[in-house]
Each structure stands twice: as structure tokens, then as C-alpha cells.
Amino acid sequence: MKVAILASGNGTNFEVLARHFKDGDLPGELVLLFCNHPDAPVMERAKRLRIPAVSFTVKSCGGKEEYEQRLLAVLQEYRVDFIALAGYLRVIGPTILDHYAHRIINLHPAWLPEYPGLHSIERAFNDQRAQTGVTVHYIDSGLDSGPIIAQEHVPILPTDTIETLAARVHETEHHLYPQALKQALKKEQN
């Protein structure tokens, strides 16, 4: 099973997953990082880890439809069977979604269905909730609405700042995502 990771930013979750693939903890082979921001730090992480990386923007393609057609061609060139989103800050459109139905998973920094979309950690913190969480789910045509694979709560402590809460959410992501991806890949192989 050939896996691609799609990311947009710093790439800490990408690096965690890449190390799990390299250590043999995850079934399959990580064959590609795709990033929609050519200057994002995740590109340097991929280079350092010797993972093939491709990057281009919607603007450079002339629009979302052309962007998704080009991305699909790249995924097919690398013979990608399964996609893991790791901080990929774009909605996946029908071009990719239809081709990879039930074979794309996403990591979301909230206890879905609460706080879908962007700024989930900040919204939970500002609402003074007792807890938030991390969710790994399959994607569908909705916003963070696909079937859930795994979730874990993260308490919001009275002493928390947005930064300390975000750090704990990211720690949770780093151990939950590899477990959930392993579960999804094993299910796909059967």
C-alpha cells in the first residue's frame, strides 16, 4: 500500500508519521509528501527525511479544478493508494475525493462534531470548555463530517493558555494519529 501525506504548514505530524513508516510501525510505504505551500517548513522536513515532495499552489494552476486535476495526476504518478491529511488546510474537492473514496483520512484538533473547520483549539479555549480533543476521521464531501476512526479527549485546564492547550493537543495528535492510521491501513489491506 503506497501512502501520500498532504500537508500545508510546519509538518510535525508529517514527521511523526514518516518516522513511524521508516521504523516499520505502519503498514505500507510513504511514497510522497504533497504541500500546497512551496515555502512551508514541512518541505524541509521531507527533504531531511528523504521523502519525495511535490508542491504547487492553486494560483499557479489557475484555479481549484485545475489544481485538483494536477494533484490527482501526481498522486497517480506515485501510484498512491491511500492519503493521510496532516495539517492540509484545503477542502478536498470531488476530483480527489471521488478517486480516493474511503481512502483519505484527516487529523482534526477537536472532539468532532464540535469545532469543525479552522481555529478549533482557539474556539474551544475561548468558549471556556472543560475539554476539547483530537479526532481522526475519513473525509467526505462535508467539513470534518466523515466517519470517525479514533478520538481522544484533551482537558482544558484552568491554568491553560491557548499555547499550552495547543501543545497538549499536538502531543495527543502525535500518538493518536499513527495508531488510527495503522488501523485504517490494516482495514484497507483486508
Predicted TM-score (pTM) above 0.85? yes
Neighbours of 28 (CB within 10 A): 17
Say if residues 180 and 20 touch (Cβ distance below 8 Å): no
pLDDT at 190 over 90: no
106 labeled binding residue: yes
Question: Any binding-site annotation on 13?
Answer: yes
Euclidean distance between CA atoms 81 and 67, whole angstroms:
19
- Determine the Cα angle at 69 with ends 63 and 70, to 5°: 90
59 is in an annotated binding site: no
Please give the torsion angle defined by the CA atoms of residues 96, 69, 178 and 147, in that order, rounded to the nearest 10 degrees.
Answer: -10
Q: Is 146 annotated as a binding residue?
A: no
User: How many Å is the Cα radius of gyration of the chain?
Assistant: 16
Q: Does the annotation mark 137 as catalytic?
A: no
The three grid cell numbers given for residue 20, joined into one nine-digit string: 513511524
Given 20, 99, 108, 153, which residue is catalytic? 108
Whether 189 shows a pLDDT value over 90: the answer reads: no
Q: What is the pLDDT of residues 30-87, one digit of tens each?
A: 999 999 999 999 999 999 999 999 999 999 999 999 999 999 999 999 999 999 999 9
List the chain domain ranges: 2-107+136-149+173-189
Amino acid at 166: A
Question: Domain 2-107+136-149+173-189 class?
Answer: alpha beta
Instruction: Say whether 11 counts as a known binding-site residue.
Output: yes
